[in-house]
Structure 1
Amino acid sequence: MIAYYINYGVWVMLGAVAVVIEVRALIDAVRRSPDTFTAADKRTKTFWSLLLAAGLFFGYLALPAIPLGPIVLGAGLGGSLFMILAVLPAAIYLADVKPEVARFTRRPPRSSGGW
């Protein structure tokens, strides 16, 4: 019986980490300028935003159902393959697209901090 709870806890932690990765990738993609994606030759901002949003949606569906009082976090649908397929676009974005897009992102000049 204890092995079940350990297995379920590991499954919940992996699902939570996957959802955090998906959220981080989506927020980064939304904050970037559309011009940087085309300058980096990495599809469009709309393409990546929609793909990452779909990955986040399916990642939420794959997250095991966790009752938190009246709220249930996760849907508990799908299995480990479903969770891997959901986090795959975020992993590709963070490993390949983000570094290239970051090269073309303008950074505001730093202020000296003085008056």
Structure 2
Amino acid sequence: MVVTGLIQYYVFVVLFAIGFLLSAWALIDAVRRPARSYVSAEKRTKPFWVGIVAAGTLFGYLSIPQVNVFGFLVGFGLPVLIGLIAVLPGAIYLADVKPEVIRYTPRSPGSGSSGPTGRW
């Protein structure tokens, strides 16, 4: 029984860490996109998405169970339901908002793939 509980605990730690990393990725992407791209894509505003995703990232981080250096449980994070809900803003941003915002993000002149005769 102890081994099963330990395995379940580490599965939770890994899943919540993955959720936090997903939210952090969404937050970094939301910050680096220009504000006018959000408005052009009709996806609210940049401060709205940065705020929502930042809150989800914060709660995602706080929901990770705490483990010390030796791998022992030190404390539990926020309740599991809050940890699951915290992933939603980042997932929604990455699945729905990011593809549309990318379409309206201006590209720098040197970016993209270019062949021997110029841009493809």
State the partner residue of 1:34: 35
Counterpart of 1:55? 56
Secondary structure of the 2:108 match is coil
Q: Report the TM-score, using the length of structure 2 for normalisation.
A: 0.84
CA contact (8 A) 1:62 1:74 kept: no
What is the CA–CA distance in structure 1 between the aligned matches of 2:89 and 2:76, rounded to whole Å?
A: 20
State yes or no: 1:101 paired with 2:113.
no
List structure 1 runs of 4+ shifted beyond 2 angstroms. Answer: 109-112
In structure 2, give the amino acid aligned to 1:29: A
Residue equivalent to 1:91: 91
Q: % of aligned pairs identical?
A: 50
- The CA deviation at 1:75 is 5.9
Tell me the CA shift for residue 68 of structure 1.
Answer: 3.3
Q: Cα deviations across residues 39-70 of structure 1 (Å, max 9, x unaligned)?
A: 0000000000010110011111111112237x
The Cα shift of 1:110 comes to 2.9
Q: RMSD of the TM alignment (CA)?
A: 2.3
Structure ID, larger Rg? 2
CA contact (8 A) 1:65 1:74 kept: yes
Q: 1:74 to 1:54 in 2, by over 3 A?
A: farther
In the alignment of these two chains, the number of paired residues is 111
The unaligned stretches of length 5 or more in structure 1 are: none
